[in-house]
Amino acid sequence: MSALKDRITADMKTAMREKDKERLATIRMLTAAIKQREVDERIELTDDDVVAIVEKLVKQRREAEAQYRAGDRPELADQEAAEAALLTPYLPAQLDEAEIDALIEQAMADTGAESMRDMGKVMGQLKPKVAGRTDMSALSAKIKARLAG
């Protein structure tokens, strides 16, 4: 069993003991998503697989929060934001702007990227290095800005 899954299970037990209903519900949703994927694919998930699931759930929560705010439903938006905040600690430490910029510069130098046609090469080189540590859409936007200008 992966260390991250062990940590999630331990956190769920703690939430049960402390009667923290919101945290418990969020962790149960996460464990259900993990178990669903394990059953569907008939595999034991690694930490990287679990991180990918957490990333997906956090992204869904943030998108839903934005839609609720746009629809003037602050109570639902706050709930989505709270769930995203409860899931975030299961992600690896996030990269700061300077680290991201340095990685982009390095990838562009390594691939010889000069135009938008080279976007795929740069993303291909960066994706394994930054997976789970930054928002991929923001990274893509930064690369596009560098290659366009």
* pLDDT of 10 higher than 90: yes
* pLDDT of 148 higher than 90: no
DSSP labels for 35-54? Answer: HHHHHHHTSPPPHHHHHHHH
pLDDT in tens, 28-52: 999 999 999 999 999 999 998 999 9
Annotate 114-132 with three-state secondary structure: CCHHHHHHHHHHHHHHHCC
How would residue 1 be classed by pLDDT, with cut points 50, 70 and 90?
A: low
How would residue 137 be classed by pLDDT, with cut points 50, 70 and 90?
A: confident
Q: Please give the CATH number for the structural domain made up of 97-148.
A: 1.10.10.410
Q: Check if 3-90 and 97-148 are the same fold.
A: no
Instruction: Tell me what the mean pLDDT of segment 1-13 comes to.
Output: 93
pLDDT in tens, 100-129: 999 999 999 999 998 899 999 999 999 988
**Amino acid 36: pLDDT:** 98
From the candidate CATH numbers 3.90.550.10, 1.10.1510.10, 1.10.1370.30, 3.40.50.1820, the one assigned to the domain spanning 3-90: 1.10.1510.10
Q: Where are the domains of the chain?
A: 3-90, 97-148
Report yes or no: 146 and 122 within 8 Å, Cβ to Cβ.
no
Q: How far apart, in whole angstroms, are the C-alpha atoms of residue 121 and residue 117?
A: 9
Give the type of residue at 83.
E
* pLDDT of 136 higher than 90: no
